Copies of this chain bind each other. A is one copy, B any other.
C-alpha cells in the first residue's frame, strides 16, 4: 500500500484530537464521546489516540483547557484591573462571559466534576479573579471565602435539577393537581409563577434570570462584608 493513508489525511495532533472531541461532545453529549467514536471521527483506530494521550482523562483535561481558553477569549484576556468599573462589575462581566461559553458546551460542568485537577488556563482564570478582587481592596481572607461562596457559579453554572421528567415544557393543570396533594407548597408556588409568566417559552423558569439573581445576592453580600471589614 502506497503512502496514501499517511499523506491524504492530516496528521493526528493533540489539537485536532481535542477539537474533534469537543465537537463530538457538543453534538451528542458526553456519553457519545468514546475513544472508539472519537478515533472513527478522525479516520483512525482507537488505540492510535494513546500515542498522543496517556489515557482518556488526559483528553478530558484537554477539553477543559480549550474551554477556558475560550473563556479567556470571551473576556478579552484575564485582566486584574477593573478599569473604570467596580470590581463587582468587572467580576460580574467575566463570570457572565464564562457562562456564555459554558452554555455552548453544556457538558463541561460534568467534566469539571469528574476531573479534580486544575488545568493551567483554569488556574489562570481563578488567579485573575483573585487579582481582580485584590485590586478592589478585598483582603485575602475575604477573597478566599468569596471563592468558596461563589463556587461553581464562578464558572457560569450552578447545577439545577429539573422539576419534572422532561423539564422542557410547562406543567399542565393536571400535573399541578396531582402535585397539590403530595407537595402543596411547591405546587402553589409553581402555579403562581406559571400564571405570572404564561408566555414563557423557557419551560418553568428563566435560567438566566435565576442565575443572575443568585449571583447578585452573593456579590452584594461580599461587598457588604468588605465594607464592614474596614470598620
Contacts and interface: CB of A to CB of B under 8 A. Distances in A.
Number of copies: 2
A188 interface: yes
Contacts of A27: none
Given A110-B113, A189-B130, A192-B140, A148 B183 contact: no
Nearest to A129: B185
Nearest to A184: B127
A2 B93 CA distance: 73
A130 B187 CA distance: 10
Interface string A101-114: 00000000010110
Contacts of A214: 145, 148-151, 218
A117 interface: yes
Contacts of A159: 113, 151-152, 159
A28 B8 CA distance: 48
B149 A217 contact: yes
A143 interface: yes
A185 B116 CA distance: 21
A56 interface: no
Nearest to A224: B220
A71 to B, nearest CB: 15
A138 to B, nearest CB: 10
Contacts of A182: 120, 123-124, 127
A163 interface: yes
A124 B141 CA distance: 38
Nearest to A221: B217
10 contacts: A113-B159, A124-B183, A127-B184, A130-B186, A130-B189, A134-B188, A140-B192, A141-B193, A149-B217, A217-B222
Given A120-B182, A148-B211, 10 more contacts: A127-B184, A134-B185, A144-B193, A145-B210, A148-B158, A149-B217, A152-B158, A217-B222, A220-B221, A220-B224
